Chain A
């Protein structure tokens, strides 16, 4: 992991071996696309999360899901459909940004923006089906750093640490 604090380095290393998933989901913390779009600037197929199923502001942890349809992976790769790693990293960044404090007022918020990838490892291929994306964010002044995972059937498929500009209420 480049340009990271010891806390982020530790979180990245731990995330390679331990799922970030909470023991149980927070009731009522689910967000659909409309709520996600009030925080994130991505729309349509570039919003890589279908729903938030857990959001804990104190733990700074977000867990989201995404259904990957086989036909969207046509060509990546022929006969062996796999979700591209860069999209996994983007999904982890989006989930991390959803954990930032936000008032949800669409017109008043400067949107979070990805500024760098500090590190990423791809441990197992992500196949068509449901993917769980878990992401925890760390404060870095005007920036945030998200360390997250993509999981399938509770197995860690990838881990990434990304940095972005925080959103901001004007």
Chain B
């Protein structure tokens, strides 16, 4: 699975869950807080993304990600470890 595919999945869940983000340009340097997500919406986006991508990152590690780039870094590492 490529990073681009992972980013597409994450962006899709952001746009479905976080109000006002549909059609908005989302880049890796943004955080979900920048996009208006509350704390539960952030966990919901991450949870659904991991389910779709069939990867698992512990909650304790996820909390260290400050923006989408760092989240995707964690996803990439989890995907590589699983394969």
Contact = CB atoms under 8 A, between A and B. Distances in A.
Interface of A: 110, 115-116, 140-143, 165, 168, 170
The winner among A115, A116, A140, A141 for most chain B CB atoms within 10 A is A141
A141 B51 contact: yes
B59 A116 contact: no
10 contacts: A110-B60, A115-B40, A115-B43, A140-B47, A142-B59, A143-B44, A165-B43, A168-B59, A168-B60, A170-B60
Instruction: List the 4 closest A-B pairs by CB distance, nearest first.
Output: A141-B47, A142-B47, A141-B51, A168-B59
Contacts of B50: 141-142
B60 A142 contact: no
Nearest to A115: B40
Interface string B16-58: 0000000000000000000000001001101110110000001
Given A141-B48, A142-B50, A170 B58 contact: yes
Contacts of A170: 58, 60
User: Chain A at the B interface: mostly helix, strand, loop or mixed?
Assistant: strand
Given A110-B60, A170-B60, A142 B40 contact: no
B47 A143 contact: yes
Interface residues of B, number: 11
A44 to B, nearest CB: 26
Contacts of B46: 142
Contacts of B51: 141
B41 to A, nearest CB: 11
A109 B59 CA distance: 11
A143 B44 CA distance: 8
A9 B48 CA distance: 19
Nearest to B48: A141
Nearest to B57: A142
Contacts of B60: 110, 168, 170
A143 B51 CA distance: 11
A129 to B, nearest CB: 36
Nearest to A3: B44
